[in-house]
Structure formats: structure tokens, C-alpha cells
Structure 1
Amino acid sequence: AEPVGDRLGRALVTAFGPQRREPENPYNDHRPYASPRCLFPVHAFVDGGAGMPWRLLEPDRHALTGTREAPAGNIVLTGRYTSVPPAYQWFRGSLIAIELGFVLRALSLGLELFDVPARLRLPGPDAHALLPALGLDDAWAWSLPFVVELDGGGAPPGGTAPAPGPPAHLARTDPALDALIRVNREQTYDPAPAPLTTAVPAGLSPSATAPDWAELLWRRHSGRMPRALHGMSGRRADVPAEALDSAARWLSVPPPGTELAAAFAMLTATAVVQGVVGRTDGVHRLRDGAAHLLRADPTAPERLEEQYGYGVSPVNGCGIRHAPLTVFLSVRTRELCARLGTAGWGAVQHAAGWAAHGLCLSAAASGLFARPVRAFKEIPTQRVLGLAPDEMIVLSVVVGVPQDTGGALLDLRL
């Protein structure tokens, strides 16, 4: 019964607002979605309406910059490449693209929960003109914007400034950043708006561990470690079949937009399963909302951990050999680019982020943790999974049984 502006504000806080602080955690406050190193490089801008400037969402304050009026119009999602440390080099492009997929699903869920109808407008050939209109001094350092249009908001107001390009010295001082920005500007899509339908699969069973959405978003985490240590902790325990079935159903919901949905359909979800009641330990294929056994292999989790880049050490935890479910999202890149052209590279990473966020929410509903990772050695992991040599692993999600680290969890929702 609230006005749409108030409901939009609640949806934005649901999608972006910090959930908790863990004093022992070396990373930043946890939000409802995962982010590499908790950097949160993707930001939301809201159209001020009636010729007013765009306003930046400040999640910590549960507020927008500028005046105190309720938000209006459209939402822009864009990622700042310079928020990611230069040591990541070209991978900065992939991290932004993947997080845009996470954020898109998180925002879609918030809008759905508060009944705010909206459409997604993917970046078209002239999308770069919108970046200077957001009031960014370094507009060249941001990804092409995704625009979420509210019903009645109309098309987003464009900018009149020239298209921002990387500064001339960037090719010399940071050639990787210069290259990934130029690649991003070539990844344009059909700009026709596509309706946001649902981010949630149908037929989910009631959850005993997260009885409502607020509790589910609070419980989402990536495997807590004690005493400011890094990595993930987990323990070996059997889990009900519903945990695997739920994950498969969350992976069956496509993202909005023709190209994103096409890239999502080309993703292959392969899971290493152990200790799931009633299911065979080994390699499974998750498709059409169900898990299908490919090969019995009780040694697969241990062999996976051997190929992970951050093994157990005095300062790092690793729970892969104990995880009941480790999911790999892969794609045949030649087929992807043949079908979608230059848009395929970004589209499949957006789609993988969308899928992985679904796995994170599925895990939270089952009382498990889910940690998106991209640190497996590619070729040995292909062999463990039985993937073809031309299949690239886009993203992985380790789903594990959490350990009680005894650390404090401070509620930041109020």
C-alpha cells in the first residue's frame, strides 16, 4: 500500500544494504550478495526525476545523495574498474561483469519482494553517453551502464557530453586497464527493454533455517573463519537431498534480456557432490531444475581441493574436500562468440553472476554457506569434472556446511 517511491527505497536497501559486521572478519561488512574481496565495485544510481541530477545510493546510510525526496524514475548499475586493485590486471573486467550479474539478481529480488514492476535495458551502442550524465569525474573508468526502468519512469535521460574514453597515458601506465575498458565498450546488446519477471524459482520448499527473506539474506555467507584468518571453514556432514534439488532449481531461472538469457542457456552447470542423502557421491550435471549423475567418484572432492589455489595453511582455511556441493559454471567460448559475437564475453559472465547468486541464496536457505571462487587450476579441474578441452570455467561456487567459529555477528539492518 506504500507509494512506489517508498517501495523502491525498501527494495534498494533489501538489495544493497549491509546486513552485519563480523569483527573477526578481515573484509568489509557483509551485504546480501557476494563480492570479490568485499570490494563492492558495482554501484547504483537513481534518477532524480524532473531534470534533477542522478543520485548515488549509499548503502551504509540507507539513503541517496542529495535531497531527501523519495527516489523516482530509473536505476543505473555500473562498476568502477579502478575500485579493484591493479594487481588483478585484465581480471578486473571479469570481476565487474560477474558482480553486475550478482547485483542484477539481488535488485530483481528486492523489486519483486516489494512489488515494484520494472524493465531491464542492457547497454546499446550509445550507452556510453549516459556515464558522464551520472556526474562522474572519471566516467571513463566505469562499465557500460545497465538501466532498470520503473514502470512510468520512461527512458533514461541521456547525456550530452562526448563519449568518455581512457586517458591517453593509460595505455602506457596500465595497459591491462586500458584494454579491458576498450573491450567493455564493444560489448553492447539489444537496448530494447526486457521485463523483470522473477529471480526466484517456483515450487521452493519451506525453509526451516531461514523462515523469511529477511532471515535468509542475513544468513548468507561465504564460510566464516576465526581470528581474522582468510579463506573458508567447513566440516564434513551429510545434508538432505533438498539442498541439491534447491540448488538445481535456482539454476533454472534465467536472467532478463535476450542476450543474457542466451548466454545463460549456454552455461553448463557441473557439480561435485558428496554426502547428499540419497544421491551418489560423484560428478552430476545440474540442468532443467534437477541433478543428473554423470559419474560416481567419491575421490573427486579431495582431488578438487588439490587443484585449488588457496589451500590450507597457517593463515588460510579451505573446506573444499568437505563440501557437499561444488558447482562449476562453464561455457564453450567458440560457440558462445559465434552466437553472440563480441557481446558474448560479457553476457556469459553476467549470466554466471546471476546463477551464482541464486546458489548463494539456495545455500542460505539450506543452512549452508556458498563461496563463489575463480581459483581452481583450469586444466586439471577440467579432467576431474570430465569437461571438454574447449570448455572454459567461468565461475565456481563452493557450498559447504559451516563451522561455528564463535565470533560475534553485529546486526546492521536497523
Structure 2
Amino acid sequence: MSSAERAEPAEAIRTELAAAYAHGPGKAVRAPRWTAPPVRNRRAHSVGLSRLADIPLLGPALVRTLTAALAPRRWEPWNMYNDHRAYPSARSAYLVDATLRLGADRRPIDPVRLLLEGAEPLPDPSTVTSAAIELTVDPGRLPDGYGTLRDALALLEAGHLGGALVEAGLAAGLAAQARARGAGGASGVVTEVTLSHGTAVTWSWERVVAARSSALSPLGLSADPRPLPAEILQRLIRDSRPPEGSLAGPSGAHGLRHRLAVRGVTGVRDGLYALDEGGLVLIQPGRVTERIQSAFGLGPGDVDVAGMNVVWVITADIGAVLRGQGPDGYPNTLMSAGATAQHVCSAAAAAGLFCRPVRSFDEPAVEATVQADPGEDLVYMLLIGRPRALDFCYDLTSPEDPTWP
């Protein structure tokens, strides 16, 4: 290998790292939009998602999985961003598109109409043994004011949706495996989730269909001020462990580190905790959520960070990740963080809590508050608490499906 060939990967890493560190609260990544090949009529042979039930063994569980992970679940008439699904999306813009691949057949999924779009008839169901869902991103659906932060938000959302697909697949009795593809390359596919016939249910359907809340916030986002029982925090920690096949991997995978600022939990000292395979370890007692409030992009009248029961902070050493994985390391880290957050959100919903992912913060100030190592960067933050009231919303889930609550 020539010196020029050896220098090229190093230069690509330096370029990616410089981009990651140069853009305010977000970190730039290259995530090109996937462009479908031209077809005469993409909807000429569109069919309902329910047609997949004809596939032997795999079909009914596949329909159940895709519906649970992709379809809208509720509509909030009082909310500025009122379309809600199984995973969070900035401004409810839904920056991720899903395409179902059955062998050589590829079909964009319309999650609202529950349609599979296609220019040709569906393949013979008897020939289908597995399915793959390809995820592509379109950061341009967010306003220009987000700048390069749009790219990071899109990849975090791709991680969320990948996590939702794995959870729903496992709960429906399928074998599920997610694989990250970095910034997408020429195809634009950033994540692929493979679903095949399984032998047992290995995830809780309760966590898949639990009523999710981002908390009431027309007059400011805040948590119920009453003490939170310790067993709810313990349940949150236990149930947030990623399932096998997730992009999140086990605790500490992909270089992710977790610190929790805890406040107002019965029998648990307020303070900063590290989370590892052994559980919570106290780092420093005190009112850490109040210090994070001062580093947040909005005041307590808009988002009461200081009053949250848990502020879950996810960090990673981006430099080390890029040196180990190359230029795709940072996009992969974002998607892993998104999948991790999805599992936390699912556990929170099952425990009756809201979970609001955020990216509006002063990174150096939060990193100092949570005692991040010098090489660590703040990747994602989750605001968790008990809602003050139940959401007023229209339930969009099927009243004919007994598996939904």
C-alpha cells in the first residue's frame, strides 16, 4: 500500500472529526437522501400491508411488527406537533423513510395509509422466507434554521425506528437483527433491520404497545412534583436493557456511556450516577438536575429540567470511535444512541413515565456537570418523569386488534 493510500483514510477521519466538532450544539454528518430509481408508476401495484399475512410462518407477525413500529398511534389536537408514533421525531417531521425488501422486491412503506407501494405485483408469498426493512433519512424535512443539526437528528431518529422495529419483531415472535450502514453511501440506506421466522417471543409486547407520552407541554414541560417510588426507577433501569439484535448492543457498546442525574425518588439520594451492567453507582450527591437546567437551551418556564426525576445523559468518545471505525463511526454512534434511547423510552412508557429526548443544550457545560472525561462528547439527553396529567388525544390504534390496550 502506498503512502498516499494509507493517508486517505486518515484524512477522511480528520475531515469527519473536524465536521463533528465544528457545528454548535449539533455535529455534522453526511447522510445523503436515498433516491428511488425511476419507475413508470410507483403505485401501480400498491397493496395493503395486510397482504403480507399470506406469507407462510412469517406473514402475520410481520404485519403486526410493521404496524406497531410505523403506524401513527395518537393525534393530539392541542399540540403544535400532534402526530405521534411508536418513536419520537423532532417536530413530528418524521425524517426517516422505510422500504420493505422481500428478496429482490423493494417497496416503500406508507405508514399512514398502511400501504406497500410498488410498480410490480407482490412476489409469490410461498417464496418469501425473510424480510428486510431499509431505513433512509431526509434531514431536509426540518427547517433550515436547524442547520447541520438536522443530520444528527435524522440519524438519531433512524436509530429510534430501528430499535422500535427490533422490539416489535421480537415481541411478535420473530428473529430480528439491525445493522448500521454509517452515512448510507450511494444507496442512502443508513440502517437495515432483518426479520425472519422465530421460535419464541423474546420481548415484552406490553413495552411495544404501552401508551407513550412526551408529557403535556403547552404551558411548559414539567414532571409531577410528588416523589417517584424507587421501584419505578428500578423498573426503568431493568427494562431499558437493549434486546439482542438491537443497534444499541449491551451497556457500553459502541463507546456509549450513561450517566443519570436523579431527583425526587423515594429512598434514592439525589445526585449524579453512572450506569453500567451492575446498575447505578453514585458519583456525586447533590442537585445535579438544577445544574443541567442552567446548561439547557430553554428556561424552566419552557422545560423544567431541574424538576425532572431523571435526566439520562449519553456520551461517547467520538475521536476514539472514528479512529476505530473510520468515517462511518460517528453516524453509527448516533444511530446506536437513538436505539438506546428508544429502549429507554419503551421502558419509561411501560412504567407510566414520559421520556423526552432533547438536543438543545450547551454541550461543554453539560459534559462538565456530568463529569465526562476530556475525550467524551455529549450525544443525547433524555428527560424522564411522571406526567402531571393524562394526555387528551385521539387514539389511532385499531379497535379490532385485541393486542392493543
Normalised to the residue count of structure 2, the TM-score between the two structures is 0.74
For residues 68-217 of structure 1, what are the structure 2 equivalents within 5 Å?
Answer: 73-123=131-181, 128=185, 131=187, 143-151=188-196, 212-213=206-207, 215-216=209-210
User: What is the alpha-carbon distance in structure 2 between the residues aligned to residue 268 and residue 404 of structure 1?
Assistant: 32
For 1:56, the aligned partner's letter is P
Contact 1:45 1:77 (8 Å CA) reproduced: yes
Choose the corresponding residue for 1:411, options 385, 395, 398: 395
Contact 2:166 2:245 (8 Å CA) reproduced: no
User: What is the alpha-carbon distance in structure 2 between the residues aligned to residue 275 and residue 264 of structure 1?
Assistant: 30
Residue aligned with 2:378, SS:
strand
User: What is the alpha-carbon distance in structure 2 between the residues aligned to residue 119 and residue 348 of structure 1?
Assistant: 17
User: What is the alpha-carbon distance in structure 2 between the residues aligned to residue 263 and residue 89 of structure 1?
Assistant: 30
Aligned to 2:269: 280
Contact 1:319 1:400 (8 Å CA) reproduced: no
For 2:114, the aligned partner's letter is H
Q: After TM superposition, give the deviation of residue 97 of structure 1 in Å.
A: 1.2
Residue aligned with 1:387, SS:
coil
Aligned to 2:33: none
Aligned to 2:321: 336
1:225 aligns with 2:210: no
User: What is the alpha-carbon distance in structure 2 between the residues aligned to residue 367 and residue 355 of structure 1?
Assistant: 19
Aligned to 1:321: 306
Choose the corresponding residue for 2:107, options 48, 51, 55: 55
Residue aligned with 2:136, SS:
strand
- Structure 2: any 5+ residue segments left out of the alignment? 1-52, 399-405
Q: After TM superposition, give the deviation of residue 21 of structure 1 in Å.
A: 0.7
Residue aligned with 2:145, SS:
helix
- Structure 1: any 5+ residue segments left out of the alignment? 132-142, 153-194, 205-210
Q: After TM superposition, give the deviation of residue 119 of structure 1 in Å.
A: 3.6
User: What is the alpha-carbon distance in structure 2 between the residues aligned to residue 362 and residue 114 of structure 1?
Assistant: 17
Choose the corresponding residue for 2:340, options 338, 341, 355: 355
Contact 2:269 2:285 (8 Å CA) reproduced: yes
Distance 1:244 1:198, change over 3 A: farther
Aligned to 1:158: none
Aligned to 1:248: 237
Distance 1:378 1:122, change over 3 A: closer
User: What is the alpha-carbon distance in structure 1 between the residues aligned to residue 202 and residue 384 of structure 2?
Assistant: 20
Contact 1:111 1:117 (8 Å CA) reproduced: yes
Q: After TM superposition, give the deviation of residue 82 of structure 1 in Å.
A: 2.0
Percent of aligned positions that are identical: 28
Contact 1:263 1:336 (8 Å CA) reproduced: no
Work out the number of aligned pairs and report it: 337
Distance 1:322 1:116, change over 3 A: same
Residue aligned with 2:83, SS:
coil
Choose the corresponding residue for 1:26, options 80, 84, 96: 80
User: What is the alpha-carbon distance in structure 2 between the residues aligned to residue 276 and residue 122 of structure 1?
Assistant: 36
For 1:286, the aligned partner's letter is L
Deviations 1:40-84 (A, max 9, x none): 1111111255x54x2221121223224885986322111113222
For 1:387, the aligned partner's letter is A
Contact 1:260 1:348 (8 Å CA) reproduced: no
Q: After TM superposition, give the deviation of residue 145 of structure 1 in Å.
A: 3.7
User: What is the alpha-carbon distance in structure 1 between the residues aligned to residue 233 and residue 214 of structure 2?
Assistant: 17
Aligned to 2:30: none
Contact 1:263 1:347 (8 Å CA) reproduced: no
User: What is the alpha-carbon distance in structure 2 between the residues aligned to residue 212 and residue 352 of structure 1?
Assistant: 23
User: What is the alpha-carbon distance in structure 1 between the residues aligned to residue 206 and residue 160 of structure 2?
Assistant: 20
Q: RMSD of the alignment, in Å? A: 3.1
1:64 aligns with 2:49: no
User: What is the alpha-carbon distance in structure 2 between the residues aligned to residue 198 and residue 284 of structure 1?
Assistant: 33
For 1:24, the aligned partner's letter is W
User: What is the alpha-carbon distance in structure 2 between the residues aligned to residue 78 and residue 32 of structure 1?
Assistant: 18
For 1:382, the aligned partner's letter is E
Q: After TM superposition, give the deviation of residue 273 of structure 1 in Å.
A: 0.5
Contact 2:180 2:247 (8 Å CA) reproduced: no
Contact 2:58 2:196 (8 Å CA) reproduced: no
Normalised to the residue count of structure 1, the TM-score between the two structures is 0.73
Distance 1:259 1:291, change over 3 A: closer
Distance 1:25 1:259, change over 3 A: closer
Q: After TM superposition, give the deviation of residue 364 of structure 1 in Å.
A: 1.1
User: What is the alpha-carbon distance in structure 1 between the residues aligned to residue 298 and residue 182 of structure 2?
Assistant: 39
Residue aligned with 1:75, SS:
strand
Contact 1:28 1:38 (8 Å CA) reproduced: yes
Contact 2:182 2:329 (8 Å CA) reproduced: no
Q: After TM superposition, give the deviation of residue 215 of structure 1 in Å.
A: 4.7
Contact 2:165 2:193 (8 Å CA) reproduced: no
Residue aligned with 1:61, SS:
coil
